[in-house]
């Protein structure tokens, strides 16, 4: 199975990389860009008996390893039992 996990900074945490990207957008002439928040995407392939079990495992992995839950949130976006992209 394949799972997608997004990890982003919590809304109240400063994002200096996002701010640098926002400034670069303005410098390049994209004045309509109001704010940018950066994050990480994890594509995880795993074996599990069911999609529900895979989701539980991925959520546990995200909470314990992929995200620093003091300053980051995570979201399991997809668990695909076919093992491929949709």
What are the tens digits of pLDDT across the range 41-67?
A: 999 999 999 999 999 999 999 999 999
Q: What is the DSSP string of 11-59?
A: TTS--HHHHHHHHHHHHTT-TT------EEEEEEE---SSHHHHHHHHH
Residue 86 inside a domain? The answer is no
Residue 85 inside a domain? The answer is no
Domain enclosing residue 9, as ranges: 2-80
Residue 25 inside a domain? The answer is yes
For the entire predicted model, the pTM comes to 0.82
Q: How are strands ordered across the β-sheet holding 2-9?
A: 39-45, 2-9, 72-80
Q: Is the pLDDT of residue 85 over 50?
A: no
Q: How far apart are CA 74 and CA 67, in angstroms?
A: 6
Q: Is the pLDDT of residue 86 over 50?
A: no
pLDDT for 6 equals: 97
Residue 61 inside a domain? The answer is yes
Tally the domains of the chain. 1
Residue 35 inside a domain? The answer is yes
CATH number at residue 70: 3.30.1280.10
């Amino acid at each position: 199975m394949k799972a997608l996990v997004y990890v982003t900074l919590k809304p109240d945490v400063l994002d200096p990389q996002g701010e640098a990207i926002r400034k670069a957008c303005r410098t390049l002439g994209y004045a309509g860009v109001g704010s940018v928040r950066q994050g990480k995407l994890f594509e995880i392939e795993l074996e599990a008996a069911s999609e529900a079990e895979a989701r539980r495992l991925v959520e546990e992995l995200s909470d314990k390893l992929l995200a620093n839950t003091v300053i980051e949130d995570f979201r399991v976006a997809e668990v695909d039992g076919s093992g491929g992209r949709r």
